[in-house]
């Protein structure tokens, strides 16, 4: 590898832009980098060469796309040719089968019949081989199309399902918190009423007792409602959790 100089650097920059000379130029650049030729004075020049290497990626991707297109065209051409060959084999086998029918078969000699039977068997074997090959190509194409469809749809479906599950879980959590707050509020009111009754003495005892009884009945009703709501809430949470776990299991598979 030549030693680094501004002149050699300019040559390498130009070679990096030419496909036929790229490998030679990139090997020189790699050697200079490993030798430690980069310094303050040469940093911009090396950046230019590295930038040219990066630009080559686009050329490689374009070349790959062209090769893929040629390969697909060749596959299609081969499939059409194979279909044409198979169609001709079908006609050949049909000729042999027709010759084997009694109205024609009786007129052939024993040797002729033997030859026709051998030829028919050979033609059938070749036809079956070509048919299997064509079927394999079609199955492969169908699988590729199916894989492409799954790759295109799966991320969107998965993201939507996860978003719905998260929203449902958040809503259930908020509902649960609201029920707890209501229950705590009723409990606090009962405690406050008890304290007020103790301080007030016996003067308003019937009225206080009546208020306390009403509030306790309300609290009991609220507790029953909350118990039912919490039970329903837990059932919904368990169902949502199972959905999330099933989604995780499917992703891992």
Looking at per-residue pLDDT, the higher value among 6 and 179 belongs to 6
The whole-chain average pLDDT of the chain stands at 80
pTM of the predicted model, to two decimals? 0.47
Task: Look at residue 162 and tell me whether its pLDDT is greater than 70.
Answer: no
- Model confidence pLDDT, tens digit, residues 23-32: 999 999 999 9
Task: Look at residue 84 and tell me whether its pLDDT is greater than 70.
Answer: yes
**Within a domain: 158:** no
- Model confidence pLDDT, tens digit, residues 210-244: 666 666 666 666 556 555 655 665 666 566 556 65
**Within a domain: 161:** no
**Within a domain: 121:** yes
Q: In this structure, are residues 140 and 226 in contact, taking their beta carbons and an 8 Å threshold?
A: no
Task: Quote the domain boundaries for residue 135.
Answer: 66-144
CA 118 from centroid of its chain's CA atoms? 52
**Structurally, how many domains does the chain consist of?**
1
Helices (H), 100-109: 102-105
**Within a domain: 198:** no
Task: Look at residue 63 and tell me whether its pLDDT is greater than 90.
Answer: yes
**Within a domain: 70:** yes
**Within a domain: 123:** yes
**Within a domain: 87:** yes
pLDDT at 24: 95
Residues 63-92, mean pLDDT to the nearest whole number: 94
**Within a domain: 170:** no
Task: Look at residue 5 and tell me whether its pLDDT is greater than 50.
Answer: yes
């Amino acid at each position: 590898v030549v030693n680094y100089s501004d002149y050699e650097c300019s040559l390498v920059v130009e070679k990096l832009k030419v496909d036929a000379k790229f490998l030679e130029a990139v090997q020189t650049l790699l050697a200079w980098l490993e030798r430690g030729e980069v310094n303050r004075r040469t940093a911009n020049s090396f950046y230019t060469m590295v930038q040219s290497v990066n630009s080559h990626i686009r050329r490689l991707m374009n070349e790959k796309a062209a090769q893929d297109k040629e390969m697909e065209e060749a596959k299609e051409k081969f499939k059409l040719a194979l279909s044409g060959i198979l169609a001709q084999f079908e006609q050949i086998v049909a000729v042999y089968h027709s010759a084997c029918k009694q109205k024609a078969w009786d007129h052939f000699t024993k040797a002729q019949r033997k030859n026709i039977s051998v030829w028919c068997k050979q033609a059938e074997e070749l036809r079956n081989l070509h048919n299997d090959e064509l079927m394999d190509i079609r199955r492969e194409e169908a699988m590729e199309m199916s894989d492409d469809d799954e790759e295109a749809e799966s991320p969107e479906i998965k993201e939507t399902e996860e978003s719905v599950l998260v929203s449902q879980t958040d809503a259930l959590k908020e509902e649960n918190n609201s029920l707890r707050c209501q229950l705590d509020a009723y409990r606090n009111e009962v405690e406050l009423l008890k304290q007020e009754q103790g301080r007030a003495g016996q003067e308003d005892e019937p009225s206080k007792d009546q208020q306390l009884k009403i509030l306790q009945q309300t609290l009991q009703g609220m507790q029953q409602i909350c118990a039912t709501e919490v039970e329903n809430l837990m059932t919904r949470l368990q169902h949502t959790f199972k959905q999330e776990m099933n989604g995780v299991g499917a992703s891992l598979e």
